[in-house]
Amino acid sequence: MIRARKRFGQNFLVDQGLIGKIIRGFDARPGEHVVEIGPGQGALTEHLVQSGCDLTLVEIDRDLATLLQERFPSATLINEDILKADLPALIPDSPVRVIGNLPYNISTPLLFRLFHYLELISNMHFMLQLEVVDRMTADPSTRSYGRLSVMTQLYCEAEKLFEVPPEAFSPRPKVQSAIVRLQPHKQAAQVDVDIIEKMLIQAFSSRRKTIRNALKGLVSESELESLGLAPTLRPENLTVNDYIACSNLVSTRS
Ligand code: SAM
């Protein structure tokens, strides 16, 4: 066994029952192109290879990459940082399915990066911190609903499949984890991503404010009313479609 490297967020899955459950939930088919992010010591990889799918592995840790290539010679091994890799070059055979027990320290930037490449991806199953999965799948007007919920649901249908306790890993993480399935929408929302991102940062940095104040400088009170949104609502009360409408109003103006 290789020693886990904290800086790469290494918590290896060791519970065979849960590994089987993740693999059955993903259900890779022979001939499908699958990309595994952060295969580590190959806990999931072993089963993916057995499914007969066409597998690409992206692993940042050079020592693990060497072991993986020896153990799974039929897979294509990319020893790179997934946050920096040239994804279109790395995935010529798209659309692909993506799976990963992700390093929690890079999960949000990685998700935002993948959302920009959804034309390459048909669906994704990720293990993430439970709290992050709850935010991704949250409904409006709930405590977990925020920027990550809107950004995720703008691009994908997000479903929490099941939770995974710390005991399933070695070393054990301090937090509870969960598996999320992300299915990109067939029809991407027509919206200026830069504008909606900026709007969400501003709106959710002051959750307690009314939208009249939280969106100041972006959308006026009369514009909110023209969209059927009471200026006294809070940022967490607006649906994804409300944010799209506000954002489109700003982009038609500029
Ligand atoms: N899939 C394995 C498992 O379930 O046991 C390992 C999961 S571990 C939580 C995360 C893995 O992602 C580690 O192998 C780590 O080296 C790798 N990793 C961390 N940062 C990465 C990055 N930026 N790009 C690619 N792989 C990364």
* Distance between Cα 81 and ligand 1 center (Å): 10
In the numeric block, which tokens belong to residue 163? Answer: 């939770």
Residue 1 lies in a domain: no
Question: What CATH number corresponds to the domain at position 204?
Answer: 1.10.8.100
* Distance between Cα 32 and ligand 1 center (Å): 22
pLDDT of residue 188: 85
Same domain (yes/no): 229, 130: no
pLDDT of residue 171: 94
Same domain (yes/no): 198, 228: yes
179 pairs with which residues across the strands? Answer: 127, 162
Question: What CATH number corresponds to the domain at position 17?
Answer: 3.40.50.150
The atom of ligand 1 lying closest to the CA of 40 is 14
Most distant CA pair in the chain: distance in Å? 64
How far is 73 from 131, CA to CA, in rounded Å? Answer: 36
Q: In whole angstroms, how far apart are CA 107 and each of 127, 239, 251?
A: 10, 24, 29
Same domain (yes/no): 166, 246: no
Residue 35 lies in a domain: yes
pLDDT of residue 1: 59
Q: For residue 87, what are the domain limits?
A: 6-184
How far is 153 from 163, CA to CA, in rounded Å? Answer: 20
SS3 84: coil
Same domain (yes/no): 126, 207: no
Q: What residue owns the CA closest to ligand 1's atom 14?
A: 40
Question: Would you write out the chain's pLDDT as a tens digit for each of its 254 residues?
Answer: 568 888 898 999 999 999 999 999 999 999 999 999 999 999 999 999 999 999 999 999 999 999 999 999 999 999 999 999 999 988 878 899 999 999 988 999 999 999 999 999 999 999 999 999 999 999 999 999 999 999 999 999 999 999 999 999 999 999 999 999 999 999 888 999 999 999 999 999 988 999 999 999 999 999 999 999 999 999 999 999 999 999 999 999 76
CB-defined site of ligand 1, < 6 Å: 8-13, 37-41, 43-44, 58-61, 64, 81-83, 101, 103, 106
Same domain (yes/no): 176, 221: no
The atom of ligand 1 lying closest to the CA of 38 is 12
pLDDT of residue 47: 98
Domain boundary among 162, 184, 206: 184
Residue 135 lies in a domain: yes
In the numeric block, which tokens belong to residue 16? Answer: 């065979």
How far is 166 from 185, CA to CA, in rounded Å? Answer: 32
Q: How many domains does the chain have?
A: 2
pLDDT of residue 254: 67
Same domain (yes/no): 175, 246: no
Choose one of 60, 128, 132 to mutate for the ligand 1 pocket test, by most ligand atoms within 8 angstroms of C-beta.
Answer: 60
pLDDT of residue 7: 87
Tell me which DSSP letter residue 168 carries: G
Domain boundary among 139, 158, 184: 184
pLDDT of residue 251: 93
How far is 9 from 91, CA to CA, in rounded Å? Answer: 24
Mention every residue, 6+ apart, whose C-beta is less than 8 A from residue 123.
97, 98, 181, 182, 183, 184
